[in-house]
Chain A
Amino acid sequence: NAGVMQNPRHLVRRRGQEARLRCSPMKGHSHVYWYRQLPEEGLKFMVYLQKENIIDESGMPKERFSAEFPKEGPSILRIQQVVRGDSAAYFCASSFGQGPGYGYTFGSGTRLTVV
């Protein structure tokens, strides 16, 4: 079981470009979560998805950010027209279910640097 796979591990983008971050959940997990870790800050929830559905996007910035989890393939977090403030580590987590007995398994993250 390969765990939660995120790619790329590091991504450098110039201001105004698009960033696409990919996450493949653990085998058998249908719940995917994206978190952002800004320098010197804790992890902040962004969005929760199940296959083909966004369940909770209450932590997503209203503009430029979008997420999807298609029927086939990985979950994608997309940031359009990146700005310096988007530089952060973006972590994906997955879980088998939503009950109290289910915790998260995290990927290694994608470190985005906007220059």
Chain B
Amino acid sequence: KQEVTQIPAALSVPEGENLVLNCSFTDSAIYNLQWFRQDPGKGLTSLLLIQSSQREQTSGRLNASLDKSSGRSTLYIAASQPGDSATYLCAVRNTGNQFYFGTGTSLTVIP
């Protein structure tokens, strides 16, 4: 069974700093991996989807990388802003029907 771990559980940074969120998974035979953000009391917003054949995806100030062999993905956020404050979730899909979610990294960007 796939296990997804996100470290750190919480992170607080000053505005403008670049930061990296980590996601690790136990079964490297993945189909794809998706990063989401979740604001308090809200739903999930998709940030980036990386297929198993890809190494990275970029969208604006976000860059996600995937290293299947080591079972890791990172989400890089450049020039952080207070509006980036949210919980970031990593979700991994094997060949089955479900995504396995980590418990998230709670990010606070201090103005």
B60 within 8 A of A: no
Is the C-beta of A103 less than 8 angstroms from some C-beta in chain B?
Answer: yes
**CB contacts between A and B, total, < 8 Å:** 62
With A43-B101, A45-B98, A48-B97 already in contact, the answer to whether A104 and B42 are too (CB < 8 A) is no
Whether B102 lies near A104 (C-beta < 8 A) is no
Which residues of chain A are near B49, meaning CB under 8 Å? 101, 103
Q: Which of A42, A59, A100, A111 is in CB contact (< 8 Å) with B104? A: A42
Q: Interface size of B by Cβ–Cβ distance < 8 Å?
A: 26
Structural contact, B42 and A56, CB atoms closer than 8 A: no
Give, as a whole number of angstroms, the nearest-CB distance from B21 to chain A: 15
Complex Cα distance A98/B31, Å?
10
In this complex, how many residues of chain A approach chain B with their Cβ under 8 Å: the count is 27
Q: Which residue of A is nearest B31, CB measured?
A: A100
Q: Which residues of A contact B63 (CB under 8 A)?
A: none
A and B contact pairs by CB, cutoff 8 A, 26 listed: A35-B101, A42-B4, A42-B103, A42-B104, A43-B44, A43-B99, A45-B97, A45-B100, A48-B97, A55-B97, A56-B97, A56-B98, A58-B98, A59-B98, A91-B44, A93-B44, A98-B97, A100-B52, A100-B53, A103-B34, A103-B46, A106-B36, A106-B44, A106-B45, A107-B43, A109-B42
B residues apposed to A, CB below 8 Å: 4, 31-32, 34, 36, 41-46, 49, 51-53, 89, 91, 96-104
